[in-house]
Amino acid sequence: MEDCLNEKFDGVKAKHSSLEVLQKWRDACCLVKNSKRRFRFTANIQKRNEADAMRRKNKNLRVVVLASKAAYRLINCAEASSHTVHEEFKANGFGISADDACFIVESHNPEKLTRHGGVDGLAAKLKTCTTNGLAMDDKELTCRQQLFGTNEFTEREQRSFWVFVYEALQDMTLMVLAVCAFVSLIVGIATEGWPTGAHDGLGIVASILLVVFVTATSDYRQSLQFKDLDKEKKKISIQVTRNGYRQKLSIYELLPGDIVHLAIGDQVPADGLFLSGFAVSIDESSLTGESEPVKVNTENPYLLSGTKVQDGSCKMLVVTVGMRTQWGKLMATLTEGGKDETPLQVKLNGCATIIGKIGLVFAIVTFAVLVQKLFASKIIDGSQWSWSGDDALMLLEYFAIAVTIVVVAVPEGLPLAVTLSLAFAMKKMMNDKALVRNLAACETMGSATTICSDKTGTLTTNHMTVVKSCICLNVSNDIHESAKKILVQSIFTNTGGEVVVNKEGKNEILGSPTDTAILEFGLSLGGDFQAERESTKVIRVEPFNSTKKQMGVVLELLEGGVRAHCKGASEIVLAACDKVINQNGEVVTLDDEQLSYLKSTIDTFAGEALRTLCLAYMDLEDGVSADTPIPSSGYTCIGIVGIKDPVRPGVKESVALCRSAGITVRMVTGDNINTAKAIARECGILTDDGIAIEGPDFREKSMEELLEIIPKIQVMARSSPLDKHTLVKHLRTTFGEVVAVTGDGTNDAPALHEADIGLAMGIAGTEVAKESADVIILDDNFSTIVTVAKWGRSVYVNIQKFVQFQLTVNIVALIVNFTSACLTGTAPLTAVQLLWVNMIMDTLGALALATEPPNDELMKRAPVGRKGNFISNVMWRNIFGQAVYQFGVIWLLQANGKSFFGLDGDDSDLILNTLIFNSFVFCQLFNEVNSREMEKENVLDGIWKNKVFISVIASTVVFQVIIIEYLGTFANTSPLTATQWLFSILSGCLSMPIAVFLKRIPV
């Protein structure tokens, strides 16, 4: 079976599968009872093709706009004086309507923007200030929302419970059984009268309705869980200036007129216009499919919702929100595309198809044998030409049994059990601070063999403070006044952060943890952020990125002159310096002795696990413009700062837990190698036989050297995004590892994309990183990553348990009815009984076994890895062992049941078949308990903690008693004696010691 699954159902990857591959496995599923239900949680290929077509249309929009600009100019001449504002907007003081504002950005028409007075004129018409943002009370806010709309996208309404009932009724086999029930009712009432003749038909109808409503309830609950998780995924906050101060707002609260602050990695939250900023590049591929970044500036000020800031930073005026934006129009199509199916879903679809084909053959043969036996008996009686209503009902019963065998044989619940388990795990993981964006990540994380983790914010707390500094070649706090002036200027102007006044009138520092630490240091020196910013004019900014590992700014000074400031990785910035400020505040040539002193200071700070940054500056010639690149050498070193970022509590224990679970943890950081090694040793990542290497050295290695050192690499310092990507790619392809990668920056996106599981940081991570990730770690904690791995293993093992349980029921139900039909000419399990068994093993079984919470034992096993078989030898041993036992019990009852229990009389067959049915159900119930552990002998450990499991078992027992004792007329059963009940329960109970015996057989 594993070979067959690998041949036809193994092409789907955990992510980035092509539409051709997704279509291929669907075509291989030739036996599907209910396509609406089976393929509910899979990609909608038709809708995705429509979304691609819309992207191509957006891509062509630029061409259309350029071609029509000449026509716009002519039209504008005629329309210049005809611009009107809708009365409702004019009455509330607005100088432009929502549709007109939308058209300005959508059309990319500069003439239209100019006619409204440019960006400043448009801001005035939107009743906003480009400096202080919107100034409004609750009444004004409500009015603006009513006129311009909210920044929310119209989503599909939550489907009602009755839709799921309707979809459950689409099951082909249930439809056939419903027809059988209808015919049975007509023939039964015609021959035996009402109500006696209606019992069989009504029994089947009642069973169908029970199956449908239980299935629909389970599916409806799943859909609600996924909807809740989708809401969590869309919670994005953005920096906004409103009512005169900067604050963090949800993107859903944005309104036209808001002033939004964008930085590298942010997602543009609405359609708007560029106000001010530097070196802004926008990735519009999500909207147009075009990979080439678009430069945004005063000449091309248009910013579109859903695009991402690839480089630079800027302020944006929000013009259009919600469904009026380009992204809003595209989202209407995208949301219909569905989520990609997971590899395990596909494999289990394949498993269901293979077993279904076998079951179909058994059903046809069973029906043929039963019909042949009926014909043979009539020939012997000489009544082959005389057919009564009872004979017709008998044929109908045989056909219903054959159809029900198909119902039981096609394990439609297998792929849906994956979805149930994943939905349960995703909900629980959300409580454990992990938001799953890609369903497949849950199951893939259970197979992870390597975690490549960032240092800052993941292994450390990301609460940074400058604890040591070496300014002007002096590690004391005694800084010369002239040097302090340059240092404060460097700190407050060359930063991605900002010091703002909050509602309470106090200073508040905004920005990354590193910027925050440096700004706090600047304030402690007595610096004034606003005064420094106002005393200079920014000419050019080059924001920090992980490739250059530095940032720079060019300033025009009020007293005259131009100055560049640089800040970044200590050894990189220091290498660009040829001068230094000495202890007297004088600029002197950087000699070998001073250089050696600064390098040893860097090493000393790094050895104490401090992050080190070097600050430098240089005075430039006049005539520098915004297009002039910031120099790469000739700087004057101001000093070195050491920033403390403590290791998170519990990280060392989590790393040790990973090691015991067979998961290798590697640290990949942009920091200094000595800092990285110190932190790695503190976390337990770097061992005596491990290798710590720098990115530049890694890049220079030959392929032969890489093959030798990669398995031993535990720390990679000063790494670029390309280094991380290369390491991940080799681990996956060359060494067959299942790799999880953490990332927080825009440049981590390629590695997150390449990895089997991309883990983005929820606090420090950019929106670009989160979009590329499969799981978002909401608290940025490494311990949460280990929790995700534990849940991933739990999902994988839970589905294995369910598959083991369901295949056992499949095998026994098929063989029992088939052999009985062949040998006795009757089937001991009727259609109604088989439908009940199907519900026990399908919906209820999945609910019980697929929702087991993880335990600590899971992290003591070796990971499955990339090559592991899903249906393992251990599972086959348990399946066949239990199947042989159950078949033995039922065959023993069929052969000797009457004599053993002293059954005789007209109802002896009915009582015996009821006993067989009851024993069969209790064997399944106890086997469900056995399936909680595939190798561990004590299956009762922790059972009382799983309330879902206990509830399912208890409710199944209650319903079984009701079916046997009170619904005999409909279910073809007869009440049993206490002895017969005891035998049924003991038959099931005996499967537990047999399970212990089986688990001791080595495989």
Q: Which of the residues are catalytic?
A: 454
Give the Cα separation of 315 and 260 in Å (integer).
6
DSSP class of residue 160 equals P
The one-letter amino acid at 303: L
DSSP class of residue 346 equals H
> What are the Cα distances from residue 749, in Å, to 173, 594, 740, 772, 817?
47, 40, 13, 6, 56
SS3 277: strand
> What are the Cα distances from residue 957, in Å, to 292, 562, 922?
63, 84, 8
Give the Cα separation of 427 and 229 in Å (integer).
7
Strand 259-262 relative to strand 308-320, pairing: antiparallel
- Report the candidate in 998, 950, 956 with the shortest Cα–Cα distance to residue 804: 998
650 Ramachandran zone, left/alpha/beta (phi>0; psi -120 to 50)? left
Give the Cα separation of 622 and 619 in Å (integer).
9
The one-letter amino acid at 1000: R
Write b or e for each residue in 55-77: b if 16 or more Cβ atoms lie within 10 A of its Cβ, otherwise e: beebeebeeeeeeeeeebeeeee
Give the Cα separation of 321 and 260 in Å (integer).
13
DSSP class of residue 196 equals G
The neighbouring-strand residues paired with 579 are: 589, 636
Strand 498-501 relative to strand 507-510, pairing: antiparallel
Give the Cα separation of 352 and 411 in Å (integer).
5
User: Residue 565 — φ and ψ, nearest 5°?
Assistant: -115, 145
- Report the candidate in 172, 176, 178 with the shortest Cα–Cα distance to residue 209: 178
Give the Cα separation of 247 and 794 in Å (integer).
41
User: Residue 562 — φ and ψ, nearest 5°?
Assistant: -125, 135
The one-letter amino acid at 948: V
Give the Cα separation of 535 and 556 in Å (integer).
9
